[in-house]
Structure 1
Amino acid sequence: MLPVIAHAEPRLQAVMKRLEAGEPITLATLGGSITTGYAAQPPREKGWAALLAKSLGPKVKLINAGVSGTDSAAGVQRLQSQVLDKSPDLVIVEFGVNDQWLDPGVRGSSYEAILRKLLAAKKPPAVVVLGLTQQGNQARDAVEIQLKLAAHYGLTALDFGRWMQARVETGQDRWASLYDEPVHPNGMGHQRIALALAETLRAAARTPAVAAAPVPEPLHGRAHEFTRLLTGDTLKPYQVRGFERGGEVHPEWTGQQPGWVSKANDAEARFLVYGSEVAVFHAESEHYRNLEARVDDGPWVTLQGHVADRKGYLGWHYKVVGRDLEPTAHLLQVRVKRDEWAGSGRPASLLAVMSAGILPPALRASDFVRESPTNRPGLIPANDPQLRWVGRVGAGPLPSSKLMAWSGSELRARFTGRDLALEFSSTHWGTSHFTVEIDGRVNPLAVPGKDHTVWRLREPLADGEHTLRLVKRTEGSMAEASLHGLRLAEGGKLLAPPPARPLTLAFYGDSITAGACNGDVADDQYDDLYPHDGTRAYGAVAAARLGADYVGIAISGIGITATWHDLLMPDVWNRVAPRKDAAVAPADVRAPDVVLLNLGQNDHGFPASKGQPIAADFGPRYLAFVRQLRGRHPQAKIVLLMGGMSAPREQPAIPQAVERAVQTLRGEGDAKVWSYRFAAFAWAHPRIDVHAQMADELTRFLKDEVLK
């Protein structure tokens, strides 16, 4: 009996019946260099894929999507264009050898994603798993995962190592005859693979048919079903120094374009990326040098470009730089590593950035589990004096609760115990997205509108003291939530809060300051507010870099003279929520040291959308609003900002009004007023890469001009 796993998979049986009837079919093969036919001469004619297609008959059209040096993580990225877009009837997937060198934390998820995407296609093909090992049927780690996945999804699979070993043990073959080196089978090896596959397909065709089963739940998660490939023109850094377009491309990857290459020791590039896993696809050989990369402020990871064993040929490697990230937008920094190859004149090159885990809302996991609200004792009320509140926070529906409307509103605390639960209520329609940071680990939390909810950590914390930051990400006009309080583990105690930061910055603005759309993958959208994150807008980022507390009073679509809704900033700037019926906020417990104003985009954009000019009295009304700010913040330094989007470039009245306001106030003896115009901007809402550049600019300006 052949050591073949041959399930009676209905799609495969249908394909084989079509072949027997003389009908044409399209066969696609997806894999690495063995699938390309490497070491067979000529490869495209004598490789196993070509030999199998020929043995199945003249009506078989072959699509060979083998690409040397790629594993299933790269295979997922090219699956659509190189396989699914060809509408194959039968797909054979081979990554057993290359996945052996793939990060163990990736190989199960990426290979499973290929299977799931094939099975979920509009016209699902028959799928066969080809489990190849190196000479002698070793190593088997990756193959065992792939065979288990084949069984899980009811797919036909060939364990070629076992098939071949059975022939060796009966004296029909020798491993040494099939390989001239340990990795790639020679011409005879390709013949044997084709023979084994043909036997497997025919055995499956003879197996009694069974009803098709629905696609089961995944074994390794779904991150690699949702990917993004940045390559060629889409691999565009938002900041670059020392790198230039170029480097060798993958000759077998259809349509592949040059990436970025450098011989400079100080070369650096930064990219906007998305997902819960970020990897760099980079070149490696005996002639390359090393790179290093990190995501956001994560650890630096070496990208091993210098691989002495790769003599005479170039390879590529999928190297994970960030994993278990929040499934949203991130910043990737890549630089040439200063090591023993510094100054060698050798190039370092990256070809692509591959992301996984750009998850739809239904698949976003949470570290919190929802519980039913109860009246049991032990709730630490939100107004407890040992809780530190930052930003403009109002009174909630209960005397002891706190309204968190404005994005950037923040609670800080220290506590003991291994458990934490948070109790919220909301009368607003929108979902409030929060960052719950515990001991530095970020845990996103979505609190629904018009509901009363309790959220408890799924997993217990370690023993000892813990720090908590609860920060509202969603802007106030989209969602409001009230925190009733928090519950700790039995015996847990609330401790004195973290110390206050030495500086406070207060920002007044529109959607730019609110961080609207700053994590959106494609076009601006407001259906899913999860990626709209006020904590990663330029003001919050600049405050964090300066070690300052952040106060954000920002509303999408708002202006001083024009608005996309029914609110103007003079109506709500001093209230606890962006509503005309909201209470006026009491005097700040801690007065801001610097007040920053960035308005004008909507004063221009809204009338321009109707073919109308900016209000003729924009300048005087702008000055009048700055005077209101000065009245509330008499001791603060005031910075009038321009930019982040296109209005100051398109409408001269905006910079004119800003500069005139500074001149007028300084002429009246107010020396604590400045203006600053951002160089960084975006035509649509800026993403976090533009916000990072704006924060760079603003941080320098504040240090050099305002805070000195």
Structure 2
Amino acid sequence: MNKHGLKGFALALSSMLPAASQADARLQAVMQRLEAGEAVTLATIGGSITTGHAAQPPRERGWAALLAKSLGPRVRLVNAGVGGTDSAAGVQRLQAQVLDKSPDLVVVEFDVNDQWLDPAVRGGSFEAILRRLLTARKPPAVVVLGLTQQGGQPRDATELQLRLAAHYGLTALDFSRWMQARVEAGEDRWAALYDEPVHPNATGHQRIALALAELLRAAARGPIKAVPALPPPLYGQAHEFTRMLAGDALQPYRRQGFARGGEVHPEWPGQQHGWVTRADDAEAHFLAWGSEIAVFHAESEHYRNLEARVDDGPWVTLRGQVPERKGYLGWHYGVVGRDLEPTAHLLHVRVRRDEWAGSGRRASLLAVMSAGIYPPALRRSDFLPEALPGGPVAADAPQLRWVGRIANVPDGRLLAWSGSELRARFTGTQLGLGFASTHWGSSHFTVEIDGVRHWLAVPGNAASDWRLREPLPPGEHSLRLIKRTEGAMAEAVFTGLRLGEGGRLLAPPPARPLRLVFYGDSITAGACNADLGDDQYDDLYFHDGTRAYGALTAERLGADYVGIAVSGIGITATWHELLMPQVWNREAPRLDAPVAPPDPRSPDVVLLNLGQNDHGFPASKGRPIAADFGARYLAFVRQLRGRYPDARLLLLAGGMTAWKDEPAIPRALEQAAATLRAEGDAKVWTHTFQAFAWAHPRIDVHARMADELTRFLNQEVLK
């Protein structure tokens, strides 16, 4: 190299290495250990360039292997390159493929593949890799490798990643600038590094390894500086909290036309088959969690397109038919839903009916990847804990429509039972809500504005005011405030709402033509229906009565919903102190609550689903169900009939397994119905759910239960 080349190389290197006052202390320490003869584990994570693609043999002549060799025999290499993966997929495999190997030094390379990643994702996913490395139990030194395509273009992802490296005080190699300095000095040619636009050839891999080796050795010089505190994220923290469903964990709760199979990523250790189809009408439905949900799917010139949506959101095309993927299979992180509430969701996938219909080509998905499964401290409500100016609209304003068993109290309206609902119409650009509580538990609410769901947690034993963070567009708006948390866990008093300057209430929304009243236990209350793992009652955010089977059925039928449900309760046995016959007619599930006055509007159908705890509690003690369960069940049904003389009665069993384990439960239903019919009561039916779960049902099982119940009501009860 001549003096001009040395000068250019030095200038490029100086622009990539932090100044001494900003030196990367962890990297200095690792390199000084290596120079002292200690063993060091080097891990590399990235896409096909990190695997060594286009160098032969790749794992021996790729840049990662060349770098490890150049650093000496005391370096152990862990190459976690997986072709066709970007940082969004990389963060999903980071723990198993990198952190579990206890690396001392990690080189991160994703900018070429991230150039094709959704721009709304790439900042958060790449930053999450850096943050998870830096917050590991034993944080490694981290180097960001900014590669490029032939000729140094494009640069969007590279610039973003270099900016993140600077934000976290990390050493980074901008390979494009390093190489361009050599080209301008007459010492190299871009054309020598590439035989095609994307992947460097053997010479290119040699240059990458050379640049990294020089950078790492330069970083070893100078004193070791203190490791700075972790700065706040630039792109959020969603991808620090991820979950991947693949292989045996990727089980549809309902499918048609999809079968196990399809391509398995050959470079991803332990990957199992996903789901594949050639049918035009194929569909599959999955339970997923998080604020961002994506499908990791195959793409090539020979595949077909899928489309997917989360819950009832818009359909998103997942491009499997990619003509530019000629001769090889690729993989893509396709975002289906983002900015979701960070809880459980239903993912619906189907074959897209397009010009490839009838072609018999395959469509395939390998995994469902979720981000934003936040711990409680990081959940961000769309409401701020402060009041809007101006006086509140009182809870008894005639423009407000209340649905459910709502009690009048001195300060407002008591919202105890899950499913208790306020509906209103208003104008203005702001919304505030006021609450008070003397109960110990926090109440979780869904606040639906113009069809968009927001989440709000109201603390117990406190008065609180809340306002919507973002202004609404001018004009008319609809509001639904629905209590998610069951009454035994939390009660709240709604004290009023505020609309801000210029806002006013409009005439209330009309009542729905059908009214359903449900009595039940934790299944009907929606307990644990969004839990990620085992059933739990510590974090009631994941218990959502608005997505339990009864509320879903009411929505599908266009009905008003009233839910009277308590976890652990039964007719003859209970996990706590209360039996349903003691509290079924009260304003709240406690003995000191007043008996509720007669319903202002008689329900069309009353549905009863009890018996799970009548069997489950005594069984947990090694005892049988109460010998008089059938008689006491009938007595309670008579109490319901006394309060609702004109309603249709539907006696339900299921959602969990008690009816399978204990024959006395379905027998009691049939005998009670037969007794009432024999007495001339023709408005009584029974139904046993085929959809069930061994633990508390999650929202996928509740959706199937609602399918069953909606069909049964339409075909048998409401006809």
TM more than 0.5: yes
- Residue 408 (structure 1) shift: 0.2
- AA matched with 2:12: L
SS in structure 2 of the partner of residue 470 of structure 1: strand
2:660 paired with 1:660: no
Deviations 1:22-59 (A, max 9, x none): 11110000000000000011111110000000000001
2:498 paired with 1:487: yes
2:383 paired with 1:368: yes
Deviations 1:512-541 (A, max 9, x none): 000000000000000000010000000000
Partner of 2:408: 395
Task: Give the Cα–Cα distance (whole angstroms) in 1 for the partners of residues 58 and 706 of structure 2.
Answer: 53
CA contact (8 A) 2:296 2:368 kept: yes
Partner of 2:8: none
Partner of 1:38: 53
Task: Give the Cα–Cα distance (whole angstroms) in 2 for the partners of residues 84 and 316 of structure 1.
Answer: 23
- 1:47 equivalent among 48, 62, 65: 62
- Residue 175 (structure 1) shift: 0.6
SS in structure 2 of the partner of residue 198 of structure 1: helix
- Residue 636 (structure 1) shift: 0.6
- 1:463 equivalent among 474, 488, 496: 474
Deviations 1:628-680 (A, max 9, x none): 11111111101000000010000000000000000000110100000000000
- 1:601 equivalent among 608, 612, 623: 612
2:22 paired with 1:12: no
2:393 paired with 1:380: yes
- Residue 372 (structure 1) shift: 6.3
Task: Give the Cα–Cα distance (whole angstroms) in 2 for the partners of residues 491 and 85 of structure 1.
Answer: 58
Partner of 1:350: 365
Partner of 1:97: 112
Q: Please, what is the CA RMSD of the aligned residues?
A: 0.9
Task: Give the Cα–Cα distance (whole angstroms) in 2 for the partners of residues 25 and 331 of structure 1.
Answer: 45
Task: Give the Cα–Cα distance (whole angstroms) in 1 for the partners of residues 530 and 222 of structure 2.
Answer: 50
Partner of 1:79: 94
Task: Give the Cα–Cα distance (whole angstroms) in 2 for the partners of residues 254 and 492 of structure 1.
Answer: 58
SS in structure 2 of the partner of residue 629 of structure 1: helix
Deviations 1:559-583 (A, max 9, x none): 0000000010000000110011001
2:356 paired with 1:341: yes
2:334 paired with 1:319: yes
Task: Give the Cα–Cα distance (whole angstroms) in 1 for the partners of residues 235 and 600 of structure 2.
Answer: 50
Task: Give the Cα–Cα distance (whole angstroms) in 1 for the partners of residues 449 and 700 of structure 2.
Answer: 26
2:236 paired with 1:221: yes
- Residue 487 (structure 1) shift: 0.9
2:446 paired with 1:435: yes
Task: Give the Cα–Cα distance (whole angstroms) in 2 for the partners of residues 209 and 124 of structure 1.
Answer: 16
Give the number of equivalent residue pairs. Answer: 704
- AA matched with 2:440: W
Task: Give the Cα–Cα distance (whole angstroms) in 1 for the partners of residues 281 and 467 of structure 2.
Answer: 46
Task: Give the Cα–Cα distance (whole angstroms) in 1 for the partners of residues 228 and 506 of structure 2.
Answer: 55
- AA matched with 1:83: V
Deviations 1:202-245 (A, max 9, x none): 11111443211111110000000000001100011111111100
Q: Once structures 1 and 2 are overlaid, which stretch shifts more, 168-177 or 509-518?
A: 168-177
Matches within 5 A, 1:26-425: 26-371=41-386, 378-398=391-411, 401-425=412-436
- AA matched with 1:659: E
CA contact (8 A) 1:130 1:159 kept: yes
CA contact (8 A) 2:390 2:500 kept: no
Partner of 2:5: none
Partner of 1:2: 12
Q: TM-score by structure 2 length?
A: 0.97
Could you list the runs of 4 or more consecutive aligned residues of structure 1 that deviate by over 4 angstroms after TM superposition? none
SS in structure 2 of the partner of residue 378 of structure 1: coil
Partner of 1:523: 534
Q: TM-score by structure 1 length?
A: 0.99
- AA matched with 2:520: G
Task: Give the Cα–Cα distance (whole angstroms) in 1 for the partners of residues 426 and 280 of structure 2.
Answer: 46
Deviations 1:450-478 (A, max 9, x none): 00000011121111111110000000000
Task: Give the Cα–Cα distance (whole angstroms) in 1 for the partners of residues 505 and 679 of structure 2.
Answer: 49
Residue identity over aligned pairs, in percent, reads 77
- Residue 587 (structure 1) shift: 1.0
- 1:534 equivalent among 535, 545, 556: 545
CA contact (8 A) 1:247 1:349 kept: yes
SS in structure 2 of the partner of residue 305 of structure 1: coil
Task: Give the Cα–Cα distance (whole angstroms) in 2 for the partners of residues 487 and 121 of structure 1.
Answer: 45
Partner of 1:454: 465
CA contact (8 A) 1:396 1:483 kept: no
- Residue 377 (structure 1) shift: 5.5
Task: Give the Cα–Cα distance (whole angstroms) in 2 for the partners of residues 144 and 415 of structure 1.
Answer: 46
Task: Give the Cα–Cα distance (whole angstroms) in 2 for the partners of residues 691 and 465 of structure 1.
Answer: 33
Task: Give the Cα–Cα distance (whole angstroms) in 2 for the partners of residues 590 and 463 of structure 1.
Answer: 35
Task: Give the Cα–Cα distance (whole angstroms) in 2 for the partners of residues 518 and 392 of structure 1.
Answer: 23
Task: Give the Cα–Cα distance (whole angstroms) in 2 for the partners of residues 162 and 377 of structure 1.
Answer: 59
Task: Give the Cα–Cα distance (whole angstroms) in 2 for the partners of residues 551 and 595 of structure 1.
Answer: 9
Unaligned runs of 5+ in 2: 1-10
2:592 paired with 1:577: no
- Residue 396 (structure 1) shift: 2.6
Task: Give the Cα–Cα distance (whole angstroms) in 1 for the partners of residues 382 and 242 of structure 2.
Answer: 23
CA contact (8 A) 1:397 1:482 kept: no
Task: Give the Cα–Cα distance (whole angstroms) in 1 for the partners of residues 274 and 638 of structure 2.
Answer: 51
Task: Give the Cα–Cα distance (whole angstroms) in 2 for the partners of residues 396 and 170 of structure 1.
Answer: 83
Task: Give the Cα–Cα distance (whole angstroms) in 1 for the partners of residues 27 and 500 of structure 2.
Answer: 55
